[in-house]
Amino acid sequence: MTVIPNQLREIVKGEIVTDDNTLKAYGRDASIFEVKPEMVVKPKDIDDIKNLVKFISGRKSSDPSLSLTARAGGSDMSGGPLNESVILDFTAHMNRVLGVKEIPPLGGYAIVEPGVFYRNFEKETLKKSLLLPSYPASRELCTVGGMVANNSGGEKSLRYGKTDEYVEELNVVLSDGNEYVFKPLTYNELEQKKFQENLEGKIYRETYDLLEKNREIIQRAKPNVSKNSAGYALWDVWDNNKFDLTKLIVGSQGTLGIITKIKFRLIKPAEYSKLLIIFIKDLNKIGDLVIYLNKYGPESMESYDDNTLKLVFKIFPELVKKIGIGVLFRFIPDVWAIMTGGVPKLVILAEFTPHQTDPLTVIKKRGGFGAGQAGESESDLKLRVQKIKKEIESKFKVRTRIAEDSVDIQKYWTIRRESFNLLRKHVRGRKTAPFIDDIIVRPEHLPKFLPELNEILDEYKDHMIYTVAGHPGDGNFHIIPLMNLSDERSRNIIPELSARVYDLVIKYGGSITAEHNDGLIRTPYLEKMYGREICGLFAKVKEIFDPMNIFNPNKKVGADMGYAMKHIKTN
């Protein structure tokens, strides 16, 4: 072992674990990869993090294999928290909600440690009628630290955007082993930071210079989509008014430093909503239907496909156990729709709320979407959704229904949110293989993009079946192949199909990852998306923050497909 546990026990108060079973567990996440670490450390506090960083940096020159990788819930689908050296588990001790404060009328804020599970965090925020709206479908499994690391988004991102829009401050331990606070700065505050004779000052000076010297090519490289987690978000840091390095750290997958504390802005969620369910048999209608639905300003628009729906009926007892016995009767309309109209190829869930719960965010970031009138009553909202329902049925000749009550609504959201886990647990002989799982193009391109995508995917049907879910309102689809990864031919499909799908995405000006980030699976394709010059700037950013490559190597920069293929799980 390159790091001797006894050496670390002298400087770390938390647990240090090296047994094979633990290392195997931490060598996997929700991705297709397995990378066995050397040890797992469960830091007790910030001092443990500082000491670990100083320990690794002091030995890095003599042993380049040493590194630190932050990990939390393990729900990442890209291989982001996997590495061969030291894994830091934040869920054991650094898992406190440090405060939640309401600031009427728009919302409030919360201060948390990165190891807090979102499900526990939401319980605390809802006590004050507040919400972090960027939660992903893995909301029951993920942590807030993972959400920040990946710049996660989810069902409410259509209106409210992604996690980066809610991060106000970050405490980060940098490569010198010291903790710094990052938040938006005015120009004068930026100038003061640049005069500091420490690592923080160096970072501000060199990052500012990099952004100024390459302003035009950086802005041209920004993907023209509503969500993007590919690369480092250089284009969002400096707008000639505000300099905000949180925009760079959010979505960086722990490659620039170790996050120790987060301050989130929170919103006031809508008091009530109505859910319109649309059953689609002809996939060629999706693009036009999504564009039409977006005109009505839904708060969210989600989808899942026929393979997911068929699986739901196979594991019906488990679903009843999860939601409650009352769900039995709520499936009668769905069964009737299938009996009379056949199994739909795609189910779309469009949620409507009465007003903009956070108008500053909606107007600034989402183009003023939103729909109903302020003060719209629940009965008025219902009438509005009924009108939308009739128009959709008339124009697109599809079956629709409006969910009747909270149990009915919960049924659909559970199916959507749990779709990936259902596949992981209940499909025999094949495994979920998320490698083209997070593509996005602008919704107006969907009528042309989706048929071309299906043509590509159909060429591989002898080696895989696939499911489709995601966020059609944003043009963001999660395509999850089901494959036998022990078969060499199936494994070899991964780079071939990835390249073809990403070429198509880039043709339509999209991003290879809207929410799930790069990790091991997509970092090798960043040059395809951005070109060599922009990827060179990514490498310079990494060097500015982490010159010794201490933090989570092989992500964002420096990866290759050979390394990724070598670490694909085969069982």
Residue 556 lies in a domain: no
Residue 169 lies in a domain: yes
CB 34 within 8 A of CB 569: yes
Chain centroid, CA 314 distance in Å: 28
d(CA 27, CA 85): 11
CATH code, domain carrying 60? 3.30.43.10
**Do 116 and 61 sit in the same domain of this protein?**
no
Give strand pairing partners of 42: 15
**Do 256 and 292 sit in the same domain of this protein?**
no
CATH code, domain carrying 348? 3.30.70.2190
**Do 10 and 113 sit in the same domain of this protein?**
no
CB-CB neighbours of 250 under 10 Å:
27
Domain boundary among 35, 59, 89: 89
d(CA 540, CA 552): 16
**Do 60 and 108 sit in the same domain of this protein?**
no
Angle between helix 406-417 and helix 316-323 axes, rounded to 10 deg? 120
CB-CB neighbours of 120 under 10 Å:
14
> What is this structure's pTM?
0.91
Q: What is the pLDDT of residue 338?
A: 66
Element (H, E) at 505: helix 488-507
Give strand pairing partners of 41: 16, 88
Helix and strand counts by DSSP (H, E) for the chain = 25, 17
Strand ranges across the sheet with 15-17? 15-17, 39-42, 86-89, 68-71
CB 231 within 8 A of CB 534: yes
Domain boundary among 236, 267, 298: 267
Give strand pairing partners of 172: 180, 259
Residue 499 lies in a domain: no
Which residues constitute the domain of residue 260? 101-267
**Do 68 and 164 sit in the same domain of this protein?**
no
Percentage helix, strand, coil for the chain under 3-state DSSP, each rounded to 5: 45, 20, 40
Element (H, E) at 349: strand 346-352
Least Cα distance to 158 among 316, 396, 350 occurs for: 350
**Do 109 and 152 sit in the same domain of this protein?**
yes
Count of domains forming the chain: 3
Least Cα distance to 430 among 491, 513, 498 occurs for: 491
Q: What is the pLDDT of residue 209?
A: 98
**Do 417 and 371 sit in the same domain of this protein?**
yes
**Do 168 and 204 sit in the same domain of this protein?**
yes
Looking at residue 277, its amino acid is I
Q: What is the pLDDT of residue 361?
A: 44
**Do 335 and 375 sit in the same domain of this protein?**
yes
**Do 35 and 117 sit in the same domain of this protein?**
no
Residue 502 lies in a domain: no
Domain boundary among 210, 236, 267: 267
CATH code, domain carrying 190? 3.30.465.10
| Cis preceding-peptide flag for 105 (omega within 30 of 0) | yes
Provide the b/e sequence for 209-223 (b: ≥16 CB within 10 Å): ebbeebeeebeebeb
Q: What is the pLDDT of residue 197?
A: 96
Residue 175 lies in a domain: yes
**Do 262 and 395 sit in the same domain of this protein?**
no
Residue 174 lies in a domain: yes
Looking at residue 338, its amino acid is I
DSSP state of 304: E
**Do 116 and 261 sit in the same domain of this protein?**
yes
pLDDT means per 10 residues, the chain with 571 residues, are 75 96 96 96 98 96 95 95 97 98 92 98 97 94 97 95 98 98 98 97 98 98 97 97 98 98 96 93 88 94 84 64 57 64 86 66 41 69 96 95 82 74 66 93 93 93 86 94 90 96 98 97 98 98 98 94 93 71
Residue 456 lies in a domain: no
Residue 491 lies in a domain: no
